[in-house]
Structure 1
Amino acid sequence: MHKYRLLVNPYDIEKWVNEMASQGWYLQKFTWIRFTFERGEPGSYIYRHDELERFGASYEDEYLEFLKSSGIEQVDRSGNFVFFRKPAYEGPFELYTDKKTKISNLSKKVTVLLWVILLNLMVGIIGLSGDFSEYEVDWFGLSLNIANLLVVLVFSIPLFKLIRLRKHLKRDLDVFTD
């Protein structure tokens, strides 16, 4: 079974993948938007995600081998985003990533989303101003410019969620000094 979700907030995606596993759908493969599941016994696995270095750090192989020796299976990797799983009967497990790294990863996502939003906003506004300067309306151009503005609205929601999550992590970092 294939499901489509935009991979923006990794913590929401991890929660959703675990909800799917509790219903008996095991994650097999994923990309930034497409997730492939296969049917299995409900609640058999717990899933966690991690974001590795973009071009492979020197410690990456050692880290992945350590996880494997701990009974943690790598499910799939898309870019630097990786999903792991472990049988649920072994109890919950966590992949430790310090708050500074989490904040840095969220900041990168915020930057990308902000550029996508600003670019679409600029193209949409400039295009709309040109659409109404002629005697005859270009309906195709108008619909493309409206689509750009809809992209701005759609991507603004995850942008604000990521900013809020990053803000909470920063506040916790200041309080607990990670």
Structure 2
Amino acid sequence: MLKFKLYYDKDVEEDWLKKMCLNGWAFKKFFLGFYTFEKCEPGEYNYQIELLDSWNGEKHDYSAFMEDTEVKVISQWWRWVYLQKMASDGPFEMYTDIESKITQYNKIKNFFKVALVVELICFFMEAMATINTGSYIFAIFTVLLAVICLAILQIVWKCKWKIEQYKHEKDM
């Protein structure tokens, strides 16, 4: 089965992949918003998504390391890696201590901050084109870029909120 979805939030995406598996569909591949699924036993797998620091082509080493921990690299898109583990092996959580969770959400926050800056530059350029030409086409793209900027800003804010929650938990 092939499904198309766009996610900016890894937690929501992970929950959706788990729900699909609970319904008997195992995640097999991702490319540009297209998810490929195969039939499986309901709830057979658990999934995690990780943002790597960089992707320098050492996919084999990373996959081998993960397989040593009984985790399979299902798919990779740029620096995002989709991981799968048998549900029968118990809970699957890549980051179990508070510091590593804070580090991961900082990585995600910084990743999206860069994307936000790029989108804001595009937004202002498009807004200037709209003002200078009065074109409805430019106005439509300006609104579209504003929506994208707000979606990215929401993720940055959510990551910041999660980091603050973890820091508060750590201080208790």
Superposition TM-score, scaled by structure 1 size:
0.78
Change (3 A) 1:12 1:126: same
Task: Indicate the residue corresponding to 1:126 in structure 2.
Answer: 128
8 Å CA contact 2:8–2:155 kept in 1: the answer is no
**Greater C-alpha Rg:** 1
1:28 CA drift (Å):
0.9
Report the counterpart of residue 83 of structure 2 in structure 1: 84
CA contact (8 A) 1:24 1:39 kept: yes
C-alpha distance in structure 2 between counterparts of 1:95 and 1:105, whole Å? 15
Q: Is the contact between residue 124 and residue 148 of structure 1 (CA under 8 Å) also seen in structure 2?
A: yes
Name which of 130, 137, 159 aligns with 2:153.
159
Show CA shifts across 1:108-147 (max 9, x none): 213213421x134213321222234xxxxxxxx4223322
Other-structure match for 2:66: 67
Please show how residues 19-98 of structure 1 align to structure 2 within 5 Å: 19-56=19-56, 61=61, 64-96=63-95, 97-98=100-101
Unaligned runs of 5+ in 1: 133-140
Structural RMSD (CA):
2.6
In structure 2, runs of 5+ residues without a counterpart are none
Which residue matches 2:142? 148
**Secondary structure class of the residue paired with 1:143:** helix
Report the count of equivalent residues: 167
- % identical aligned pairs: 21
Q: Which runs of 4+ in 1 moved over 4 A?
A: none
Partner amino acid, structure 2, of 1:124: E
